[in-house]
Amino acid sequence: MLRPKQAKKEKIHLTKDSYKKARKLFHYLKPYRFEYGIGWIFLVLSTSVGLIFPILLGQLLGLSSGSQTSMAEAVKAIDLSNITTVAVALFVLFGGQAIFSYFRVVLFTNVTEKALRDLRYDVFQKMLHLPMDFFNKNTVGELTSRLSADITQIQETLRTTVAEFFRQIVMVVGGIAYLTFVSWKLSLIMLATVPVIMIVAVFFGRFIKRLSKEAQDQTATSNAIAEESLTGIGNIKAFTNENYLLKKFKSSIEKIRRLNIKSGLWRGLFISFMVFCMFGSIVFIVWQGLLMTQGPNPELSDGDLFSFLMVTLLMAASIGSLPDFYSGIQKTIGGTEKLMDIINETSESDLFKGTNTPEIDGSIRFEHVRFAYPQRAEVEVLKGISFTLNRNETLALVGTSGGGKTTISSLVLNYYKVNQGAIYFGDANADSIDIKYLRKHIAIVPQDVLLFAGNILENIAFGNPEASEDEVINAAKQANAFEFIMSFPDGFKTQVGDRGIQLSGGQKQRIAIARAILKNPTILILDEATSALDAESERVVQDALEKLMHGRTCIVIAHRLSTIRNADKILVLQHGQIVESGNHADLMATSGAYSDLVKIQVNLG
């Protein structure tokens, strides 16, 4: 039974190396350091104002000429001229705060976005230039998550978390310094209670969050049971499995109940704890503070007590927010490390060092090629493959599934290095040729044609982005694609792919053929589609292919043997070895593996 897809929890393990790699993030900030520096000045200014504000507000509330014991008395006794002065000072401060915050946010955002644009570009550029093997080891999902989730995490940190973290630290440190200055005695009382309670509250909160997460996961499991059951209701009825699934569902919802009740109990405890300890500690401080304001020689003025309480409250909030900011920064370090790992990977050009640009006339020679995919080095996939293909000849690769046909075409494209033996294009060893130059001479018509989001014109022009519109239209005509394209209301401007119309298998293949025609390659690799087209589509696709193949060296990975009767050479591959070779007539005459395959297909057909 399928389990609900749960987000893969990535545990962050930070090492010394992680921090070292994360420091490279500064490299991306460096070009914008001036702007960033000014942003920091505004941050320091707005943070200082943030600290002065509760002090002044406390003074405003506590302005008095005597030692009042109640707020009402204090308010009555407030010296109006002083109130105005302090209030004006507060307004000026707020004005300053508003301006500083505005510039800080704008500057930080500007710098972050510029740095992230550079980082995104570098990562994507690197990804595009990594060897094929990298993509065997890393899934597309993981890689796109690097570009999305990790970058978003860094964005959040650079734009907000760093500033907030700094502000809260200053609030805590500055607050403690101020409080000690006002009254060290009251500070000691405060420090013994508030921070401890805040930290306990944070961890308590996390524990409760974890409990609710477990309940959520369990809910997802039970939903999956219900969903699967309803989707496959026919099967369930046929197997009379209603009770079996009901039992499963019951045990799952029972678990949800238990987990939610457990989390409810802890939540109740948490709330009682917060009410009692938080408010209790505030009452305790107020009580102790008020005692200090009593008597003929009070240790503390009312204004100072108010300021003290204000700063304490803000500081408590700051302490409470620190762990989250800290874990945000840790996640960012982890994310940056992963991005830097990609940037530090070896590029294809570092792996394939060839720089020669010899004439590629279409002749290809494999000499005793042995090959194993790098991540499964112990399994040899090609075991000594040799063949010669002359210019403009067609080679068909046939054989059992997993025999090595696709692997041979990948080696022609120089996706991987061979382990032993060599591949020659003309007289040049593939290793010595510049891979980009080589690939410019090769086109592939794959089994699964990839259409990019965009219109048909752009999709065909993918074969040669520099081609003119007329050339694209011409290619479409040669690929027998013109008519069906023009039957769409928007013609060549019709949007295709995920966000556009869906093309049929045969139409997609003709787009791929048009692409290849536009590229005008010397060598063509044709990976025949396994799924059969209807007779009419088959005919137009085949006709387009024949036009495309004419006058080029072709390697056809053949699934339907009827299409390769005219090939100059046929290699029959089994378990990475050539078991037969020759043309159709030769191979049929020998009554070997090839003729067996043909017979099977004829019978199946």
Ligand X SMILES: Nc1ncnc2c1ncn2[C@@H]1O[C@H](COP(=O)(O)OP(=O)(O)OP(=O)(O)O)[C@@H](O)[C@H]1O
Binding interface with ligand X (CB under 6 A): 136, 373, 375-376, 381, 401-407
CB of 320 or CB of 404, closer to ligand X: 404
What's the min distance (Å) between Cβ of 528 and ligand X?
10
Q: Which one-letter DSSP state was computed for residue 433?
A: B
What's the min distance (Å) between Cβ of 403 and ligand X?
4
CB of 124 or CB of 373, closer to ligand X: 373
Going by DSSP bridges, is the β-strand pair 523-527/577-582 parallel, antiparallel, or unpaired?
unpaired
3-state secondary structure of 566: coil
Kindly state the helix (H) or strand (E) to which residue 115 belongs, with its residue range.
Answer: helix 80-128
Choose among 376, 389, 375, 504: nearest CA to 449: 504
Choose among 214, 225, 221: nearest CA to 266: 214
Q: Which one-letter DSSP state was computed for residue 450?
A: P
What's the min distance (Å) between Cβ of 592 and ligand X?
18
d(C-alpha 573, C-alpha 587), whole Å = 13
What's the min distance (Å) between Cβ of 522 and ligand X?
23
Structure tokens at 29: 């900030």
CB of 398 or CB of 511, closer to ligand X: 398
What's the min distance (Å) between Cβ of 347 and ligand X?
19
Choose among 251, 231, 233, 250: nearest CA to 242: 233
What's the min distance (Å) between Cβ of 416 and ligand X?
9
- Burial of 491: CB neighbours in 10 Å, binned 0-12, 13-18, 19+: middle
What's the min distance (Å) between Cβ of 366 and ligand X?
14
d(C-alpha 131, C-alpha 137), whole Å = 11
3-state secondary structure of 233: helix
| CA distances (Å), origin 105, targets 9, 101, 110 | 32, 6, 8
Q: What are phi and psi of 250, to 5 degrees?
A: -60, -45
Residues, the chain:
605
CB of 31 or CB of 402, closer to ligand X: 402
* Number of helices (H), then strands (E), in the chain: 24, 12
Place of tokens 């310094």: 177
CB of 376 or CB of 565, closer to ligand X: 376
What's the min distance (Å) between Cβ of 445 and ligand X?
15
| CA distances (Å), origin 18, targets 10, 11, 139, 156, 567 | 15, 13, 22, 19, 55
CB of 308 or CB of 416, closer to ligand X: 416
What's the min distance (Å) between Cβ of 348 and ligand X?
16
What's the min distance (Å) between Cβ of 527 and ligand X?
8
CB of 15 or CB of 401, closer to ligand X: 401
CB of 237 or CB of 376, closer to ligand X: 376
CB of 212 or CB of 577, closer to ligand X: 577
What's the min distance (Å) between Cβ of 379 and ligand X?
7
Kindly state the helix (H) or strand (E) to which residue 366 belongs, with its residue range.
Answer: strand 364-371
CB of 175 or CB of 404, closer to ligand X: 404
Choose among 190, 187, 189, 182: nearest CA to 304: 182
Q: What are phi and psi of 262, to 5 degrees?
A: -60, -45
Question: How far does Cα 43 stand from its chain's mean position?
Answer: 31
CB of 150 or CB of 580, closer to ligand X: 580
d(C-alpha 153, C-alpha 206), whole Å = 20
What's the min distance (Å) between Cβ of 409 and ligand X?
8
Buried b (16+ CB within 10 A) or exposed e, 367-392: bebebbeeeeeeebbbbbbebebeeb
Q: What is the DSSP annotation of 540-564?
A: HHHHHHHHHHTTSEEEEE-SSGGGG
CB of 363 or CB of 409, closer to ligand X: 409
